[in-house]
Structure 1
Amino acid sequence: MTEERPVIGWREWVDLPGLLAVPIKAKIDSGARTSSVHSFGTRRFVDGGAPMVEFLLHPLQRRETPAVVCVAPIKDERWVRSSNGEREYRIVIETEARLGETVWPIELTLADRDVMGFRMLLGREAIRRRFLIDPARSFRLSRRTPKAIRAFEAAMS
């Protein structure tokens, strides 16, 4: 018996409630093993013996403001092959993601994605056994521009 899985488009708004108060537009990338989120100004520290990371994130595409401060425990550090084929040593965090009605923990590598088209990639490990992808459509499970983003942009103006 086949389990019914939600269908997502090639790009979706993903909530990361443990990191951001607003959703972030993500490219669904089944070619990327691990998910990745934009980060800069990264600072490592220790809190109660646990390794932590603080980083800044521009949640809106093609905008340099605002810069949101995010803090998370470091889960791992590993080598990742970037989109240009080079290996990079990246910090890995784990956080909760929400897309449509599905809420689940995902691993995110931290990378400077400022010049990339999307501030987040949702890789195959995060979507596997949870979603089917319709590569011809966008925003199957999320609104084209969520109310939270419109309010966020209005507050910045």
Structure 2
Amino acid sequence: MMKGHIAPNMIIGACEWVALPELGINQLRARVDTGAKSCALHAMDIEQFDRDGVPYARFRVPIGRHENMRWQRCEAHVRRMRRVRNTSGEPEERITIRTPLIVGHSRWDVDITLTNRERMRYRMLLGRTAMENHALVYPARTFLQGKPRL
């Protein structure tokens, strides 16, 4: 093992159930993508504002599918603006937030960019930086960790 690295404590599949508890999201299907550096969350009606001089973002995230879909209203501190290449390879500026992520029994903080992913099958993309030191990916399987344990 290389110096300074921690051995991952779980094996995850190509897709996993995740929770973002500080955003009020108890379960969401995420696509695990080792080709993507960062995480991305499908967010609509993104609005930036200041709270006591601190930058924040207000946005909505769709939860559930089709007839059972509801909109979760979220607010989070804006960590930074980040230039990211989208699925088409085009660069775009995105708001980046930092929030706890739960996969299975494990919880850790991740940076997530906010973007419109309505044309994508999964509302969240779990990128390799978020998995570093936490998980190994077994791409032939899905949902190995089950629903998040809050």
Does the alignment reach a TM-score above 0.5? yes
Whether the aligned pair in 2 keeps the contact of 1:61 and 1:119 (CA below 8 Å) is no
Measure the CA separation in 2 of the matches of 1:46 and 1:64: 33
- Report how far residue 67 of structure 1 moved: 1.4
SS of 1:18's equivalent in the other structure is helix
- In structure 2, the gaps of 5 or more residues are none
2:61 counterpart of 1:53: no
Amino acid at match of 1:89: E
TM-score (norm 1): 0.85
Measure the CA separation in 1 of the matches of 2:117 and 2:139: 22
Q: How does 1:8-87 map to 2 (within 5 A)?
A: 8-61=12-65, 65-87=69-91
Residue among 110, 115, 138 paired with 2:114? 110
Say which is worse superposed, 89-98 or 14-23, in terms of deviation: 14-23
Whether the aligned pair in 2 keeps the contact of 1:60 and 1:119 (CA below 8 Å) is no
Kindly tell me the number of residue pairs found equivalent between the two proteins: 146
Measure the CA separation in 1 of the matches of 2:117 and 2:91: 15
Whether the aligned pair in 1 keeps the contact of 2:7 and 2:134 (CA below 8 Å) is no
Measure the CA separation in 1 of the matches of 2:8 and 2:48: 41
TM-score (norm 2): 0.89
Structure number having the greater strand percentage? 2
- In structure 1, the gaps of 5 or more residues are 149-157
Residues 119 and 64 of structure 1: CA distance in aligned 2, closer, same or farther (over 3 Å): farther
Amino acid at match of 2:94: R
Whether the aligned pair in 1 keeps the contact of 2:8 and 2:136 (CA below 8 Å) is no
- Report how far residue 86 of structure 1 moved: 0.7
Measure the CA separation in 2 of the matches of 1:103 and 1:21: 14
Measure the CA separation in 2 of the matches of 1:32 and 1:63: 31
Whether the aligned pair in 2 keeps the contact of 1:26 and 1:122 (CA below 8 Å) is yes
Amino acid at match of 2:110: I
Say which is worse superposed, 65-74 or 89-98, in terms of deviation: 65-74
